[in-house]
Amino acid sequence: MMRSRFLQFMTALAALPISACRILLTQPTRPLRKLQFDPQGKEAQELVLLLPGRLSPPEEFVQYGIVDLVRKERPLARIVAPDLHLGYYMKGLADVCLHEEIIGPAKKQGLRVMIIGVSMGGLGALTYSLRYPGQVDEMGLLSPFVGEKELLAEIEKAGGLENWSSPVVTPRSKSEALQKLWMEMKRQWLSRCGPPFAISLVVGKSDKLLTSNRFFARALLKPDQVIEIEGGHDWDCWRRGVEILLSKSKD
């Protein structure tokens, strides 16, 4: 039953208001198209999974130097950037593909798993970790989409996440899907004082999602897990964010 509800939940997460590079909706395929970079001459010890923003191709992680940054800081990492475009979310396949084709096999090999999610990819990282608890060891969020202002205002008006509740069981719209997301975070994480894995969030001070990111951080993260830097909702800011995430995770 839980698996079925999560499939419906992910199907409802379409048409998110995040900037995109591709315009036309692409249909999902199996296996998931991905870019993969293995350590040179050595066995991988961890997986660094790079999740793109809405409609953004994985090649942008190469174009903007993110892959090179990870290779430099994590020389024993297998780096995977899947083409997890909007079509997978609309069909309810995003979490399934990640688990069956990338993360599940990596865990069976004994690899540590870090997810870095950009914008909608941050939302994808959160929903995956809720659906498959215990699979993620570390998460870096770069200005993630976490909900519309109306929903966040509703939660705040109720006196915070601990006092807010939603009757939604099977989401039938985007707004209901986001309510379900926050209810799952409340159910699984709030009593633990946050996610049960290492997590950091980096957001630009001029980012259009700054307010919602601050709300998410107040509700579920500790102050030292949140970093605000100069910049907006763009790759220049996110590249600096990745540098910070990789440096912070070594401390």
Percent of the chain with pLDDT strictly greater than 90: 75
What mean pLDDT do residues 158-186 have? Answer: 91
Instruction: Look at residue 18 in the predicted model and tell me its pLDDT.
Output: 38
Is 20:55 a contact under the CB 8 Å cutoff? yes
CA 152 to the chain's CA centroid: 18
Instruction: Look at residue 176 in the predicted model and tell me its pLDDT.
Output: 87
pLDDT at 15 exceeding the cut of 90: no
d(C-alpha 236, C-alpha 41), whole Å: 31
Instruction: Look at residue 4 in the predicted model and tell me its pLDDT.
Output: 53
**Dihedral angle at the C-alpha atoms of 109, 111, 113, 116, nearest 10 degrees?**
-100
Instruction: Look at residue 105 in the predicted model and tell me its pLDDT.
Output: 98
For residue 99, give the amino acid letter. Answer: H
Please give the mean pLDDT across all residues of the chain: 90
Instruction: Look at residue 52 in the predicted model and tell me its pLDDT.
Output: 97
Backbone angles phi, psi at 243, to 5 degrees: -55, -45
pLDDT at 216 exceeding the cut of 70: yes
pLDDT at 251 exceeding the cut of 70: no
Task: State the CB neighbour count (10 A cutoff) for residue 122.
Answer: 28
| Both structure tokens of 233 | 């909702």
Task: State the CB neighbour count (10 A cutoff) for residue 112.
Answer: 16
Is 113:133 a contact under the CB 8 Å cutoff? no
Q: Please report how the helices 174-189 and 149-157 are oriented relative to each other, as an axis angle in degrees rounded to 10.
A: 50
pLDDT digits (tens, 9 = 90+) for 45-87: 999 999 999 878 999 999 999 999 999 999 999 999 999 998 8
d(C-alpha 24, C-alpha 22), whole Å: 6
Percent of the chain with pLDDT strictly greater than 70: 89
Instruction: Look at residue 14 in the predicted model and tell me its pLDDT.
Output: 44
